[in-house]
Amino acid sequence: MIKFIPNKIALITMLAACAVILVSMGLRQTFGLFFNAFEEGLNCTRTEFGLAIGIQMLFWGLFAPIFGLVADKFGGSKTLIIGFIIFGLGIYMLYSGPNTGIYFQISLGVLVGTALGATAMSVPVSEVGKHFSNEQRTIATGIVTAAASIGYFLAPLFTKYTLSTTGWEQTLIYFLYFIFFGGVASLFILPKKQEFELKKEENQNFTEVLTEAFLHKGYVLLVLGFFVCGFQITLVGTHIPGYMQDKGLGGWSATIILSLIGLFNIIGTLGMGYLGTKYSKKKLLSILYALRALVIFIFIFSPASIFSAVFFGCTFGVLWLSTVPPTNGIVAQIFGTKNLSFLFGIVFLSHQVGAFAGAYLGGYFFDNFGSYDYAWYIAIALSIFAVAVHLPINEKPIIRQKINA
């Protein structure tokens, strides 16, 4: 197991990142379960709730490259601690109120979204990726992403239980305890050991990094493709409780789906991490998006039942965050790891723009047309688009001139 880990610093950082992402992504996965409580207690409509989650996704994306830049310059540990402080502020504001209207959008949308930009996915995954070689990086990032899957599995079960027994206010207090734990774990995100060989990338400024990336056709295509991932997983994560309720399967059916997604995504992310060391990452991504289209098609056109819920949770779970290891791996493989948190943060911004669209349009279509069908159709069409845009990507590293150390 330890053979692919280069040193103790890499091991400690990887384990700490697992704890960080388990907390941040686990809590993020539960927000859809709060809708019924917010609808009853705060008179929140699906459009308002979808807008808040959409704003959350958008701010998550906007701040991912900003926090990525901070992490590349000042270190991942400091960046993550700042993120968890903001996370705690957002949850406390949602708990203490006023939690309607613009305040609801600020707490659940702006503050939590900003915090996720630091704590969820791009920074912890990229900080781990910096410690590993191109050959082993997808395995390491797959392990970290699998930790998010464990959070995805456990957090909905815990949240559903506490919502039904203690109410949403007390559930948010429990969230604050988890956020504190995430902040402590952030202290152990350690910088990579200094290397003596310097390349041109070491002296690149912000403008040069950005220009180099967007002049690379493959990077642009990767940015476009990750939009699709964001749309699909946020549509599911936000609106699957409402969708199942409208199909006559309320109660625990949505919780079963979300938990199974988390459980089976452990298999998906670890499997994709391994496959990324053996096969072309762009081809793996195209296959993954094609399978997403097939799974969604079968789910929405099958009779609603516990069986269909279990089928969707298991199959879509395998495909859920499996996009992350190969996507992050392609960025690192092309551009190196010096600015990985920043460059992957920009790719993740596209993901979150898609997430905003998925969260908002799901609620919009239901409130105006009484159905989520149009949102599902868009998700299928976007999968076909993603299959096409990933295939032309050139995965070869760019060649930079070495400079004297």
The confidence band for 379, taking pLDDT boundaries of 50, 70 and 90, is very high
Q: What is the pLDDT of residues 168-212, one digit of tens each?
A: 889 999 999 999 999 999 999 988 765 434 455 456 777 888 899
pLDDT of residue 304: 83
Secondary-structure class of domain 9-191+204-390 per CATH: mainly alpha
Q: What is the pLDDT of residues 64-114, one digit of tens each?
A: 889 988 988 888 899 999 999 999 999 999 888 776 778 889 999 999 999
Instruction: Tell me the C-alpha distance between 272 and 278, whole Å.
Output: 10
326 in Cβ contact with 198 (< 8 Å): no
Instruction: Please tell me the least confidently modeled range out of 148-157, 249-258, 303-312, 360-369.
Output: 249-258
pLDDT of residue 86: 96
111 in Cβ contact with 93 (< 8 Å): yes
Residue closest to 152 by CA, chosen among 313, 380, 355: 313
3-state secondary structure the chain: CHHHCCCHHHHHHHHHHHHHHHHHHHHHHHHHHHHHHHHHHHCCCHHHHHHHHHHHHHHHHHHHHHHHHHHHHHCHHHHHHHHHHHHHHHHHHHHHCCCCHHHHHHHHHHHHHHHHHHHCCHHHHHHHHCCCCCCCHHHHHHHHHHHHHHHHHHHHHHHHHHHHHCCHHHHHHHHHHHHHHHHHHHCCCCCCCCCCCCEHHHHCCHHHHHHHHHCCHHHHHHHHHHHHHHHHHHHHHHHHHHHHHHCCCCCCHHHHHHHHHHHHHHHHHHHHHHHCCCCCHHHHHHHHHHHHHHHHHHHHCCCCCHHHHHHHHHHHHHHCCCCHHHHHHHHHHHHCCCCHHHHHHHHHHHHHHHHHHHHHHHHHHHHHHCCCHHHHHHHHHHHHHHHHHHCCCCCCCCCCCECCC
pLDDT of residue 244: 84
The confidence band for 11, taking pLDDT boundaries of 50, 70 and 90, is confident
Q: What is the pLDDT of residues 78-92, one digit of tens each?
A: 999 999 999 999 999
pLDDT of residue 384: 96
Residue closest to 378 by CA, chosen among 222, 228, 225, 240: 228
Instruction: Tell me the C-alpha distance between 120 and 113, whole Å.
Output: 10
Q: What percent of the chain has pLDDT over 70?
A: 94
331 in Cβ contact with 393 (< 8 Å): no
